[in-house]
Amino acid sequence: MRVMVLIKATEQSEAGEMPSQELLEQMTDFNEDLVRAGVMLAGDGLHPSSKGVRVEFSGRERKVIDGPFAETKELLAGYWLWQVKSLDEAIEWTKRIPNPTGEHGVVEIRPVFEADDFGEEFTPELREREAQLRAQAETSA
């Protein structure tokens, strides 16, 4: 299964404080562990919300709102996309995220929808396509 691991913002991250040398080194090691374990699919850090924008939808209207945004605890500072066997495995990896200063932080793990999660109804157009199935020898499809 795939999980998205969401690192919630802190006052420091929202203030644009760069992580300490120590944290950077430990994070690099941790990321390397993830890659070497075949777990890491993608991941990045995000600029503080002061550099971001929101686009608000309401009926036909689209309103663009510049950052920063107030509710720090609900904001994101970074994410990973991991390939794991179970949510428990993701929890174990998450517990290992370095936190040298011991400051309070929250990381949220959210399973990504898989093909199986969509029912039979997902692609009626595929039935249509199949009716036109042509005989191409792409056996390795």
For other proteins, the binding residue among 21, 85, 103, 117 (CB under 8 A) is 85
Residues 6+ apart with CB under 8 A from 126: none
Three-state DSSP state, 26? helix
Give kind and range of the element (H or E) at residue 21. Answer: helix 21-36
For other proteins, the binding residue among 60, 62, 104, 127 (CB under 8 A) is 127
Decide: is 97 part of the binding site for other proteins (CB under 8 A).
no
Rg (CA), the chain: 21
Q: Compare residues 56 and 125 and give the one whose CB is closer to other proteins.
A: 125
Three-state DSSP state, 65? strand
For residue 140, list its beta bridge partners. none
Q: Which stretch binds other proteins (CB under 8 A): 6-14, 65-73, 103-111, 115-123?
A: 115-123
User: Among residue numbers 21 through 80, which ones bind other proteins (CB under 8 A)?
Assistant: 35-39, 41-42
Rounded to a whole number of angstroms, the minimum distance from the CB of residue 78 to other proteins is 17
Decide: is 117 part of the binding site for other proteins (CB under 8 A).
no
Residues 6+ apart with CB under 8 A from 14: 48, 49, 50, 68, 72, 75, 77
Positions that interact with other proteins (CB under 8 A): 35-39, 41-42, 81, 83, 85-86, 88-89, 91-93, 114-115, 120-127, 129-141
